[in-house]
Amino acid sequence: MALFLLEHGEGGGQRMADAMVVSAADAADAKAIAKNQYGGSRSDWSNATVTTLADILASTASTLVGYKWTVSVDTPAGVPLEEVTFTADATDDQLDEVGAALVVLLNATASIAAAAYTANVLTVAAISDDIGDHTLRMKVEPPVINDAGGERKSGNEVMPGFVGTIVDEGIAGAVLTVAFPIDGYVVPTVIRDFFTNS
């Protein structure tokens, strides 16, 4: 069983879909059940464009391009101490590469010298950094989407699934860590927008 996106290609009409998402064994069955959905002259979906929908994994090349990571450390009093940001690009577009890039940025700050990334866990500060009692935050934002005129049309929502368990606010001589998702993490993706004709 798979999910298929069918696009009719002739434009929607009143009470008539121009696209569907269908669950079926194969593309032929998907077209058949789409044809069954409506009667009339537009019920022929035999020439519809069919796209098999599959999970888009974080391990797939270029999937993470444009995603932005922000890692922040605040003092026990709530005062910002350090903050670094990294946006994945065509060179660093895998979780391990993002983690490694964040390590470089963190170790370049005044307060951190022993950041590391191993087995999907980012150690933001090691015991030797002596800031284990601080607060650690990480947020991940999806790529900015611009319309044809270049104006931003997307929001800046934070993707919660990218941020795993955070270890912080212990004793000074402890670590600050945050877990990344596994390489098989399914990246949230909008496949197609659907608009209803009035």
Query: pTM for this structure?
Result: 0.82
Angle formed at CA 83 by CA 164 and CA 181, multiple of 5 degrees: 20
Q: 122 is written with which tokens?
A: 């980012």
Q: What is the pLDDT of residues 112-132, one digit of tens each?
A: 999 999 999 999 999 999 999
Residue 76 φ/ψ, nearest 5 degrees: -55, -25
When pLDDT is averaged across residues 89-95 and rounded to a whole number, the result is 93
Whether 33 has a pLDDT exceeding 80, the answer reads: yes
pLDDT of the residue at 141: 92
Helix (H) or strand (E) holding 70, with range, is strand 68-74
